Amino acid sequence: MDEFMEAAIQEAKQGREEGGIPIGSVLVKDGKILGRGHNKRVQDGDPVTHAEIDCLRNAGRVGSYRGTTLYSTLMPCYLCAGAVVQFGIKKVIVGESQTFPGAKEFMVSHGVEVIDLNLDDCEQMMSEFIETNPELWNEDIGN
């Protein structure tokens, strides 16, 4: 596993330790992390503070997103996929999509390369969270 996915997993673990949903993300350009974040919907009481959105906010204004890669421990939902498409991020590397299929087809249809690593660590972290927090998870995905 590369250092950037490991950083995203650390963000997810931090979110879980804070009592939130264990999803993490990092934005990378030229081998450097520009921003990192984790899902803070519970912590901030903000329905749109998903991991990818938190990561982009923390990266700040980067000018052009050309050449950036977004890492996420879970396949991005339509909200986060919309941000990827809006900002022209052309590559997304995902930890897993078994627990949530997300919006892969939407991103691909807009020219985004999506790589699903199907990592056991990411899938296990989400499966355990979903099993112990089904109401919170259903709220997060809009069910």
Residue type, position 80, single letter? C
> How far apart (Å, rounded) are the C-alpha atoms in residues 88 and 42?
28
Query: ∠ CA(79), CA(84), CA(89), 5° rounding?
Result: 175
Which two three-digit tokens encode residue 53? 């959105």
Instruction: Find out whether 74 and 105 touch, Cβ atoms under 8 Å.
Output: no
Catalytic residue (one of 18, 52, 105, 135): 52
Annotation says 135 is catalytic: no
By annotation, the residues acting in catalysis are 52
